[in-house]
Amino acid sequence: MRYYNKFSEYLKKKYGCRVHKIPVYAGFFCPNLDGSLSFKGCIYCNNYAFSPSLRNEETLQKQIEKGIEYGKKRFKAEKFIVYFQPYSNTYGNINELKIKYDVVKKFSSEIVGISIATRPDCIDQEKLNLIESYSDDYEVWIEYGLQSIHNKTLKLINRNHTYSDFLKAFETTKKRKIKICVHVIIGLPEESEENILETAKECGRLKIDGIKIHPIHILKNTELEKIYNEGKFKPFEMEEYIKILVNFLSFLHPDTIIHRLSADCDRKYLVAPEWLFQKQKILNLLEEKMKKENIYQGKNYKGN
C-alpha cells in the first residue's frame, strides 16, 4: 500500500533512475530582509542554517558541476534538478534572472529539471514567461513559500504577504507549464490543529502539484528563538507533529506530490526540537500510524 505520493518515486518512474536535486546559491536576496518589506525577515528565518549552498561562494556553474559529481558518487544519481534554494530566487530584474537560470543550459541532458524557490509576491507575468520558457527542455517547478493560509499567522510570523498574494501568484502560475510546489509549516505560533488542517484543506482544494511540509524548528539568531527563550512558544513533540501530519496528508489531493515531510538544518544552528534530525524515524512512525489507522493521502479530500 502506498500511503502518500513520494517525490523520489515520481522521479524514478518518470526518468527511470535516481534523480538528485542540487541546491545552488545564485546570489539572490529577499525583500523581507533588505528593507523593501522589512529588515527583520520571517521570525524563524536563518538562511545560513537551512541552506548549505548559501555558504558557497563558487560560481553557479561550479556549484552545479560539484553537485553532479557528489550526486553521482553519494546517491548513484544519473539525472539532476538544479534547485535555486536560498532567499527569493525571482527577486531581481529579468535580465539577471535569465543569466542565472541560463547557466543550466551549459550542461548536458543530465540536468532534467529546474526548481525555483521564491515568495509569492516576487513574481509577475514577465518573470513567469521567462520561467515557463525553460519548460520545453526541463521539468520546471516553482516553490512558493506559503506556510499558512491564515493572515493572522502570516502577520505574526512577519511574512509580509497575505494569503491572497499567494492565491494571485498561484492562479497566474497554474495556467502555465510550470509545476507548483507549496511550502507549509506545521506548528507555527498560535496555530491550532484546526487552523493547520484548514491550510491542508485549502492545499487540497487547489490541487497543488507538490508540497513541502516542515515541522517548525527554532534556529539561533532568530526572533522565534527569543520568543522560545522567554517561554512563550514551544515546538511540537515528534508524536504531535506526526499526528497532525497524518491528517494533513489525508486532506490533500491524491495526486499531489509530497516533496518533503521533514526539515534539514545545520546542527550548530538548531535550538529545538532535538528530534528534527531523526528524519527516518519520523517517516517510519508516520507510515506505521497511517497503516494502523487506515489513513492515506487523499482519504479525506473533498474536491471543490
Under the binding rule (CB under 6 A), the answer on residue 181 touching ligand SF4 is: no
Under the binding rule (CB under 6 A), the answer on residue 41 touching ligand SF4 is: yes
- The C-alpha atoms of residue 79 and residue 21 are separated, in whole angstroms, by 9
Nearest in space to 252 (alpha carbons), one of 297, 199, 185, 189: 297
- 17 in Cβ contact with 271 (< 8 Å): no
**Assigned C-alpha cell, 193:** 490543529
Under the binding rule (CB under 6 A), the answer on residue 26 touching ligand SF4 is: no
Q: Which is nearer to ligand SF4, 63 or 147 (CB)?
A: 147
Judged by CB under 6 A, the stretch of 14-22, 27-35, 177-185, 238-246 that binds ligand SF4 is 27-35
Encoded amino acid at 156, one letter: L
CB of 44 vs ligand SF4, minimal distance in Å: 7
Q: Which is nearer to ligand SF4, 34 or 287 (CB)?
A: 34
Measured CA to CA in angstroms, residue 168 lies from 10, 24, 120, 248 at distances of 28, 27, 8, 23
Under the binding rule (CB under 6 A), the answer on residue 182 touching ligand SF4 is: no
Under the binding rule (CB under 6 A), the answer on residue 218 touching ligand SF4 is: no
CB of 29 vs ligand SF4, minimal distance in Å: 8
Applying CB under 6 A, among 19, 26, 45, 104 the residue interacting with ligand SF4 is 45
- The C-alpha atoms of residue 156 and residue 176 are separated, in whole angstroms, by 32
- The C-alpha atoms of residue 146 and residue 153 are separated, in whole angstroms, by 11
- How many Cα atoms within 13 Å fall on the side-chain side of residue 12? 8
**Assigned C-alpha cell, 124:** 509577475
Applying CB under 6 A, among 11, 20, 23, 32 the residue interacting with ligand SF4 is 32
Provide the mask over 83-112, with x wherever binding to ligand SF4 is found by CB under 6 A and - wherever it is not. Answer: ----xx------------------------
Under the binding rule (CB under 6 A), the answer on residue 145 touching ligand SF4 is: yes
- 282 in Cβ contact with 242 (< 8 Å): yes
Residues at the interface with ligand SF4 (CB under 6 A): 30, 32-33, 41-42, 45, 47, 87-88, 119, 145
